[in-house]
Amino acid sequence: MTTRTAAQRHAEARVSHRARFADCPTNRLLDRIGEKWVALILKELAGGPRRYGELARTIAGASQKMLTQTLRRLERDGLLTRTVTPAVPVRVDYALTPLGQSLMPVMEAMTRWAEQNMNQIDAAREEYDAHDAQRR
């Protein structure tokens, strides 16, 4: 029987935790919807299909590259569809899938919670920072 050092046991526990974290459906979802432009894109598409140009204008802070990458990831996840209509110029429309639509009540609940509680979180942060500054 081999003996392991505390550092080895700690490293094994860390690897095990990371594996459980990576497999956790909640963490995997939060990783996706927590990305910078995802909530705005989903909110826009909740109102119905949008052309790429409409999304780009509405989400003006996102670069073309970031918007395209985010849309592709959401399409890969099955949350939205991309429809290309041959025309001059080509028309590209994005719409929520039924899976994406089923996420909207969750996003709306998170929005309501944030609107009701962010003032308290901001106040708690300020209080913490003030006490933290005094401890230094």
Instruction: Show Cβ contacts of residue 65 under 8 Å, excluding neighbours closer than 6 positions.
Output: none
pLDDT at residue 29 is higher than 80: yes
pLDDT of residue 102: 97
pLDDT of residue 15: 75
pTM of the predicted model as reported, rounded to 2 decimal places: 0.77
pLDDT in tens, 36-88: 999 999 999 999 999 999 999 999 899 999 999 999 999 999 999 999 999 88
pLDDT in tens, 9-18: 788 778 777 7
User: Would you give the end-to-end CA distance of the chain in angstroms?
Assistant: 47
Strand partners, 31: none
